[in-house]
Amino acid sequence: MFRKHPVETEKRGQKYFKKYFLKMIVFTLVILAVGVVGGIGGILILSTNDGAIAKKIGVTKGINIPITKTDKIVLEESNAVIDATNKVSPSVVSITLKTQVRDIFGQLKTAEGAGTGFIITSDGLILTNRHVASDENAAYTVILADGKTYDAKIQSVDSTQDIAVLKIDARDLPVVELGDSDQMQIGQWVVAVGNALGQFQNTVTVGVVSGKNRKVEASDSSGANAETLDNMIQTDAAINSGNSGGPLVNLKGQVIGINTAVASGAQGIGFAIPINVAKSAIESIKKTGRIIRPYLGVRYVQVTPDIAKENNLSSEYGALVMRGNGLGQAAVAPGSPADKAGIKENDIILEVNGERVDENKGLVSLVQQYNVGDAIDLKIYSGGKESAVKVKLEERK
């Protein structure tokens, strides 16, 4: 607060007024300085050459203006990508194959192909796609990341998934770390590593998980060997010809998928088999030397609300048991577990052990959670009513 002073004479008052007015100007400038500097987060200690002014306004110590300090943190995603790549790349291999085929004139010619795989055991088991390594008559060569080359043979082929395992005669190989594909999130960064175009070994591309639980119809470049792939990971990380069988990796360097297919005519739409789907196959081949899968024995179409409406079905979800388009593609395989349980064409399988069969979890992926010899309970819609059916799973022959 300012204190008022009595004016004794007009002259004295004018002299005092000029002196006091100047001091007020100095004080005002100091206060303005505090306001300006304090407003940008600094600390100002009030001082003046005229100690009497400070005493008059009751300021005997500095005025502290608290600082709000902001540190700028820069997240380097590239460092995480580099670390993940360095971790997985030594375990990624290129696969080449040569086989004899007949041309339209009946003459034998050598056909070549290429793909990718990754090492799952230190003694030379390599996981890849079935469409890369299923020809028993082909000659396979595996090229390690360090350039060493090995002849390879087919160890086992998965009967239900696009998965195969090659074997090379080697020891002390670097092995990938498997992640948990159930924990991945849409938008999560991923890295694809593979033998792009069959020419560029261990090419690295980066993207995100752009979709989950996708169902796609996939075929080879000729349009043949079509199959339905359920529960796929969709990614915009570039997957090129030759990348098939390579790993899709999270930023921890853990494999969460097996790169399998790409949408033709599109940009940035590729698909990978979730690694959790392959884990049972990996454990099976480690224990028995081959992939053993449980087998139900039905052909089906996944029911959706649109399909239910178009076909006047009583359920908007489930697996509608239907025969295939080709000769011999029966709806229920003769002698199969489904046949023995009495499942028929046009039945709808609604649940597997209480889990609903829908677009998020198809019939194949639900059955693959169990082992050969397990008995599972199916809820069936048949003949206008629901019923429970027990099925004992067998190995596909």
Q: Which residues are catalytic?
A: 131, 162, 244
Between CA 121 and CA 276, with CA 142 as vertex, the angle to 5 degrees is 40
Going 389 to 393 to 396 to 397, the CA torsion angle's sign is negative
Classified as helix, coil or strand, 162 is coil
Tell me the C-alpha distance between 277 and 178, whole Å. Answer: 12
Q: Give the 3-state secondary structure of residue 347.
A: coil
Taking the CA atoms of residue 240, residue 245, residue 246 and residue 248 in that order, the dihedral angle to the nearest 10 degrees is 90
Q: Which of 338, 284, 337, 335 is nearest to 158 (CA)?
A: 284
Distance between CA atoms of residues 364 and 369, nearest Å? 9
Q: Could you tell me whether strands 92-102 and 270-274 are parallel, antiparallel, or unpaired per DSSP bridges?
A: unpaired
If DSSP codes are grouped into helix, strand and coil, which group holds residue 363? helix
State whether the Cα torsion 22-27-33-39 is positive or negative.
negative
Sequence-distant (≥ 6) Cβ neighbours of residue 172 within 8 angstroms: 122
C-alpha to C-alpha distances, 49 to 1, 62, 144, nearest whole angstrom: 21, 14, 79
**Residue 32 CA: distances (Å) to CA of 1, 35, 37:** 17, 5, 9
Rounded to the nearest 10°, the torsion over CA 159, 164, 167, 170 is -140
User: Residue 55 burial by CB count (10 A; 0-12/13-18/19+): exposed, middle or buried?
Assistant: exposed
Cα–Cα distance for residue pair 158/140, rounded to 1 Å: 18
Q: Give the containing element (helix H, strand E) for 287.
A: helix 275-288
